[in-house]
Chains A and B, each alone.
Chain A
């Protein structure tokens, strides 16, 4: 028998896959970088004795259901928390940093990659001031950290997460200075029919709006961030009406007093590992790279599966279903299920997934990013924080004829620092695509190790050699 399937990630995709495998008697090994399972969405509070009422009933139920279902089968999963996959060289093993920061090799027969996504960082003047944080990161602090940001807290960005976080902040006792959604309300209204594919979520959206209205929280559609200001820490944010291409109308710009600014203009799949493993990728219309999966969630290497947001942004519920489908494929490959059995079960998951995909399509359409937001940074605004590269440096490189990400990196040092470009890749890619008119301008090519590791990590590896 080949080694147990290995699952990378600990979010809804990974957990659901492990559950599906275990329910068919197949053990798996799960590698998760965090100290708890659940991913960013379903991690739950990090400390004990917390009542999650401030997060809403539906979230509480979903959280408990997922963790309870996993607890039932946990004995068939070798869960390795605080393990970071830092390399995927070769087709049958991963390089993993254990909690003691030693490198290990983990072999696999089949692999499921569910690395998820990170947030899209949008540079604007003042975005590096302490107090400016990303929306999902702020939500994680509320949900798992059980700590609130300093108020007043202002929320800017696009998509349903804005209203949800605003409600959670308010319920947690934080003064919300306002919610500024970049897209026009009419664009959301136009999608009503498609949004009704998930009637409960649609209703939740409306009731969140009503909650904010009832509590006097300013909600503005077609407005966005222009600048953050503050001496040492954030004290003021300038917002302005955005056109349908997200060009701010500076003649109508207004200051808003805020100690915390949460910025949420979308997400980017984490493709560092999938790229390093040489899997097939494609560009999404949202301007990010995603790894390609077929209807069994297989990559172009059939024993390597993909689930969740790493194949494109569809959210936690879809991640659970794609995780399940990937598990069915693994069960089929291992001869545990017949083709007929696997197909029958997949049909059930696919029909639920299709409903979500139709709903998601509506969200993608109304949250479609305006192309003019890339003009927010001024010449001296830092774009790559790690290497202190400004917009002027990027402008110069583009004017000198740089046409792809690799050349921009060599010319300016963007992406060569600690974060390996995860924060500036969105902006750099947008600028390159606009300047060249091409869809494919390359993406950051990750190298081993995928994140900084101490030299001491290699002492094990060297001893073995």
Chain B
């Protein structure tokens, strides 16, 4: 799959310290960045459906509202705005365990 482009950086990333995966696609990231910043940099704004099936996007941006929940390294409902990137980290959007299970039932 193609790498994702960071189109929304205000200043270009001078040095990529690592690469992370967003829905399986590689994207460059720098130490210290949050997952939310990287998602914003590539323009992914529809993050995950909430438990009621409504698609959420980041809202408060500072850890209070729990609207930027994504799946990170296999763990559900991690706050993108409060999680720092790590080399090889895998971020998945568009998933919600609760709505998925209810769909099966």
Which residues of A are at the interface with B, using a C-beta cutoff of 8 A? 33-36, 40, 46-51, 54, 118-119, 121, 128-134, 136-138, 140-142, 144-150, 172-173, 232-233, 382, 385-386, 388, 417-419, 422-423, 452
Contacts and interface: CB of A to CB of B under 8 A. Distances in A.
Interface string B69-81: 1000000010001
A137 B61 contact: yes
A134 B15 CA distance: 30
Question: Max chain A CB contacts within 10 Å: which of B52, B58, B62?
Answer: B62
Contact of B64 (A141, A148, A419): A419
Contacts of A132: 57, 59
Nearest to B6: A147
B36 to A, nearest CB: 7
Interface in B34-68: 34, 36-37, 40-41, 43, 45-47, 50-52, 54-67
Contacts of A417: 66
B11 A46 contact: no
B61 A140 contact: yes
Interface of B: 8-11, 13-15, 30-34, 36-37, 40-41, 43, 45-47, 50-52, 54-67, 69, 77, 81-82, 84
Contacts of B36: 141, 145
Contacts of A418: 66, 69, 77
Contacts of A119: 60, 64
Contact of A385 (B15, B67, B84): B67
B10 A173 contact: yes
A382 B59 contact: no
A145 B50 contact: no
B40 to A, nearest CB: 4
Contact of B65 (A121, A146, A172, A452): A121
Nearest to A388: B52
17 contacts: A48-B14, A48-B32, A49-B14, A49-B15, A118-B62, A121-B60, A130-B58, A137-B59, A141-B36, A145-B41, A150-B45, A172-B10, A173-B10, A232-B46, A233-B45, A385-B65, A418-B77
B62 A40 contact: yes
B40 A147 contact: yes
B77 to A, nearest CB: 8
Contact of A134 (B10, B55, B59): B59
Nearest to A171: B10
B54 A385 contact: yes
Contacts of B30: 46-48
A42 to B, nearest CB: 14
Contacts of B63: 33-34
A233 B11 contact: no
Contacts of A40: 62
A46 B31 CA distance: 8
Contacts of A35: 32, 34, 84
Contacts of B61: 133-134, 136-138, 140-141
A386 B36 CA distance: 20
Nearest to A55: B10
Contact of B57 (A129, A148, A422): A129
B37 A145 contact: yes
A382 B54 contact: yes
A422 B63 CA distance: 11
A418 B60 CA distance: 13
Contacts of A150: 8, 43, 45
Given A54-B10, A130-B55, A46 B34 contact: yes
Nearest to A151: B8
A131 B61 CA distance: 12
A147 B35 CA distance: 12
A142 B61 CA distance: 11
B59 to A, nearest CB: 6
Contacts of B62: 40, 118, 136-137, 140
Contact of A147 (B10, B15, B84): B10
Given A49-B14, A118-B64, A137-B58, 4 more contacts: A129-B57, A133-B60, A147-B41, A232-B55
